[in-house]
Amino acid sequence: MFDRVFVNAVDADGNPLNLAVREGRFAAIGPERPAIGGAEVVDLAGHLVLPGFVDGHIHLDKSFVGDRWRPHRHVTSLRERLAIEKQELASAGPIVERADALIRQAASFGTIAMRSHVDVDATTGLTNLHAVMEAREKWRGVVDIELVAFPQAGVVSCPGTAEVLDAAAREGAQVVGGIDPTTLDGDADGQLDIVFGIAEKRGVKIDIHLHEPEQQGIDQLHRIASRTRAAGLNGRVSVSHAYGLGDVAPEVVDRIAAALAEAGVSIMTNAPGDRAFPPILQLRAAGVRVFTGNDNIQDAWWPYGNGDMLQRAMLVGYRSGFYTDEELGVALHMATEAGAAVLGKSGYGLKVGNEATFVVVKAPNAAAAVAAVPADRAIVRSGQFWGESSRVQFKVTAAGVGSAG
Amino acid sequence: MFDRVFVNAVDADGNPLNLAVREGRFAAIGPERPAIGGAEVVDLAGHLVLPGFVDGHIHLDKSFVGDRWRPHRHVTSLRERLAIEKQELASAGPIVERADALIRQAASFGTIAMRSHVDVDATTGLTNLHAVMEAREKWRGVVDIELVAFPQAGVVSCPGTAEVLDAAAREGAQVVGGIDPTTLDGDADGQLDIVFGIAEKRGVKIDIHLHEPEQQGIDQLHRIASRTRAAGLNGRVSVSHAYGLGDVAPEVVDRIAAALAEAGVSIMTNAPGDRAFPPILQLRAAGVRVFTGNDNIQDAWWPYGNGDMLQRAMLVGYRSGFYTDEELGVALHMATEAGAAVLGKSGYGLKVGNEATFVVVKAPNAAAAVAAVPADRAIVRSGQFWGESSRVQFKVTAAGVGSAG
């Protein structure tokens, strides 16, 4: 009846969980051990089973993972940072190889889907996008990768970028990006006209990097929320970082949170280490979808990160003062379900009929996994153990052996 | 000439490193491969070698590591937290077993020394201290454990505690603790008289938990610095947390930093996730020794932590905005050399004549190790691989085989 049965696991709450697989899909999931029949039996030794992780914000074209270590250099301006980045990347290996190395590393931690921003501008055109598309192709069916055409150097202030953004959307970027419309472009409506225009024309989603602080950031969010409502893009617009939400008083957050929830604008935060960031629980309470991602990983912007979304969930919780199991569960939700919803990933999660893909973590429940970030894991894809790096060994009983029923 | 030679490693800067061992001690360390002779050769495959980690602040009697997961419960007062802690601990396994489990877990990450605070008060007396001493005994020669008699419930405000603190120092606690002299005891001089009195009488060191905020915390630090100078305890007094240092203006920090440096008072911070903490670089620039520790690990106070000091160094850097290699090196220094100095650990570090104990990390240099916290490690103690959990496999060539000299 089943090809393989994974027994003796626990679910997010620490309750018994057994998973039966047929033809690579979940055929039964529940607390009771299913009828074994002629199936192969894998004893998961009481470990936790989680759905695969979703990295909602990564920059696959920037990372030096897979290349040599490059010490971070302090700068005094964004222009200087961009110049250093260009210089460092010019001497690094090809994007397709570095992107491949980072996807592999993320996958080894249990990531099964990601949204990658990719730099596009009038100078580089679609070079980076094409390279990341090539890396993405290698991972088709293993890691779902959604691509954002990201105008790192600005839109209005960087002539020719609007056309490149449009070309990127035409060539397969599923999301059009934006960045700091007021502080970088000095023309909020100018940038948003272009970004929303492309989204409507090409039927793509939107994800805007917003580092603008305090009330300036809040004003921008209100602008984005009204344009989203006006364009009927509910559920298709995200704002990444939205630092301003961490800078203002709770009652200001309440007002903008209501507007974001009504418009269906999602917020992405990576929980930065040394500056304020959005109050996650307050946004969620208002009905805003909040998701997370690793953002920069070992690149010219900063040295941190390793691609592990469980470490990211821990950092989200650590920075947010999440202590209870429920709060730790919110951090995990941001790295799983919420990200999957933003990406529109179909067939996601531990449900009968879905692809039998999951992560086994040596932890007694989800809260413990987020708090301690155990390295001991195994990845199962379509019912099969995946990768060289399974750090846990399990007892496997061959099909039909010792199976009484 | 040597018993064993570890070749093909890199040092903190990523430069070639080879380590020769004789009778469990370093006999040669340097960039050149030493004469192999009849030694066994271990190829470290280009990985990083670091000295063992030092956890400068841990609570071995509180953790539920090795016991079952206990969801965190929100409280509204310190009194309520202490009541919940007592209740949870009463239903947990014996302290000696839990402490043993946590020491084992920390050791598996590469910790070789720690300072553990242990609750003492008039009710529990020395029960916890004796239990942790028993666990410590099992680890003698593997993990050096310094014990602090910690008056969690206050000193002056908890009658009988002064006598218990004194008894603890008499029975072998090497450090006498204190806690929030003003806000918890309402009598700063009363508590400090007792703590410094015991330190002078018993010749023990001092480590005071100081959560007092803003100027109140700064005033307390000045009080502690002057008493340290007066008692001639330079280098023997630490203040843990010292949150106030994170709350005040830089020029206020400058003044107290000068006083702390002159008095030889060290500061411990674990880089908390959601509140301000001491500005590490500013304190170090003034000459203050700053060290770190994991503090609470999966206990009634909070769910985070796993005993890994490399993860702690990452959190210190992440929270402090440390991006350059030099800054990341500061975070590592706090988890190694600085802690070793506070504990007065002799023969510490990668030096000829010292015990040949070190951690191998799959990273190209120390900065990369701090930034990414690789789980792939191996622990070498007295020249031998240690523990079940070596996550990296190395090529070992038997003594005398293929060794041309």
β pairing state of A16-22 and A4-10: antiparallel
**Closest in A68, A273, A324 to B319, CB measured:** A273
Residues A14 and A59 in one domain: no
Residues B26 and B70 in one domain: no
Task: Output the six-digit token pair for A128.
Answer: 């980076």
Q: How far is A36 from chain B (nearest CA, A)?
A: 30
Beta carbons of A71 and B367 less than 8 Å apart = yes
Q: How far is B319 from chain A (nearest CA, A)?
A: 4
Does A318 reach chain B within 8 Å, measured CB to CB?
Answer: yes
Residues B15 and B146 in one domain: no
CA distances from residue A349 to A53, A54, A114, A199 in whole angstroms, order as listed:
10, 11, 15, 28
Range of the domain at A360: 4-51+349-397
Report chain A residues whose CB lies below 8 A from the CB of B84.
none
Question: CA torsion angle for B42, B48, B50, B55 (degrees, to 10)?
Answer: -120
Query: What does the pLDDT look like over B8-27, one tens digit per residue?
Result: 999 999 999 999 999 999 99
pLDDT lower than 70: segments of chain B: 388-391, 400-405
Q: How confident is the model at residue A405 (pLDDT cuts 50, 70, 90)?
A: very low
Q: How far is B274 from chain A (nearest CA, A)?
A: 5
Note whether residue A403 is domain-resident: no
Beta carbons of B69 and A315 less than 8 Å apart = no
Report chain A residues whose CB lies below 8 A from the CB of B298.
368, 371-372
Beta carbons of B317 and A324 less than 8 Å apart = no
Residues B105 and B89 in one domain: yes
Residue A399 above 90 pLDDT?
no
Chain centroid offset of residue B306 CA: 13
Q: CATH no. for residue B360? A: 2.30.40.10
Q: How confident is the model at residue A390 (pLDDT cuts 50, 70, 90)?
A: low
**Closest in A69, A314, A324 to B14, CB measured:** A69
Interface predicted TM-score of the whole assembly (ipTM), two decimals: 0.96
Q: How confident is the model at residue A396 (pLDDT cuts 50, 70, 90)?
A: confident
Q: With contact defined as beta carbons under 8 Å apart, do A29 and A358 qualify?
A: no
Task: Write the DSSP string, A153-188.
Answer: T-STTSTTHHHHHHHHHHTT-SEEEEE-TTTTTS-H
Residues A322 and A208 in one domain: yes
Report chain B residues whose CB lies below 8 A from the CB of A368.
69, 298, 303
Q: How far is B24 from chain A (nearest CA, A)?
A: 30
Beta carbons of B321 and A273 less than 8 Å apart = yes
Note whether residue A405 is domain-resident: no
Note whether residue B71 is domain-resident: yes
Residues A115 and A25 in one domain: no
pLDDT given at position B223: 98
Does A357 reach chain B within 8 Å, measured CB to CB?
Answer: no
Note whether residue B208 is domain-resident: yes
Residues A129 and A213 in one domain: yes
Note whether residue B402 is domain-resident: no
Residue A298 above 60 pLDDT?
yes
Q: Provide the domain count of chain B.
A: 2
| Helix residue ranges, H only, A303-385 | 309-320, 325-334, 337-343, 366-372
Residues B316 and B179 in one domain: yes
**Closest in B71, B315, B368 to A325, CB measured:** B71
Closest CA to A349 of A52, A113, A59, A138: A52
pLDDT given at position B391: 62
Residues A359 and A336 in one domain: no
pTM of the complete model: 0.97
Residues B180 and B46 in one domain: no
| Residue whose tokens read 């009194």 | B79
Does A30 reach chain B within 8 Å, measured CB to CB?
Answer: no
Note whether residue A353 is domain-resident: yes
Does A195 reach chain B within 8 Å, measured CB to CB?
Answer: no
Rounded distance between C-alpha atoms, residue A366 and residue A350, angstroms: 14
Report chain B residues whose CB lies below 8 A from the CB of A391.
375, 391
**Closest in B74, B303, B323 to A72, CB measured:** B323
* Polymer length of chain B: 405
Q: With contact defined as beta carbons under 8 Å apart, do B175 and B147 qualify?
A: yes
Beta carbons of A274 and B306 less than 8 Å apart = no
pLDDT given at position A395: 81
Note whether residue B404 is domain-resident: no
Question: How many CA atoms are closer than 13 Å to the CA of B245, on its beta-carbon side?
Answer: 30
Q: How far is B308 from chain A (nearest CA, A)?
A: 10
In the listed set B328, B343, B358, which residue is the last one of a domain according to the structure? B343
- The values of phi and psi at residue A8, to 5°, are 65, 40
Residues A301 and A211 in one domain: yes
pLDDT given at position B387: 82
| Section A260-279 average pLDDT | 98
Closest CA to B66 of B35, B98, B107: B98
| Section A319-326 average pLDDT | 98
pLDDT given at position A391: 62
Does A323 reach chain B within 8 Å, measured CB to CB?
Answer: yes
Residue A88 above 50 pLDDT?
yes
**Site from B274, B296, B370 to mutate, A interface, most A CB atoms within 10 angstroms:** B274
Q: With contact defined as beta carbons under 8 Å apart, do A326 and A89 qualify?
A: no
What residue of B is the nearest CA neighbor of A307?
A: B372
- The values of phi and psi at residue B10, to 5°, are -125, 155
Query: What does the pLDDT look like over B30-59, one tens digit per residue?
Result: 999 999 999 999 999 999 999 999 999 999
Q: CATH no. for residue B322? A: 3.20.20.140
Residue A90 above 90 pLDDT?
yes
Residues B32 and B60 in one domain: no
Query: What does the pLDDT look like over A176-221, one tens digit per residue?
Result: 999 999 999 999 999 999 999 999 999 999 999 999 999 999 999 9
Q: With contact defined as beta carbons under 8 Å apart, do B314 and B370 qualify?
A: yes
**Closest in B14, B69, B273 to A368, CB measured:** B69
Beta carbons of A74 and B324 less than 8 Å apart = yes
Beta carbons of B324 and A72 less than 8 Å apart = yes
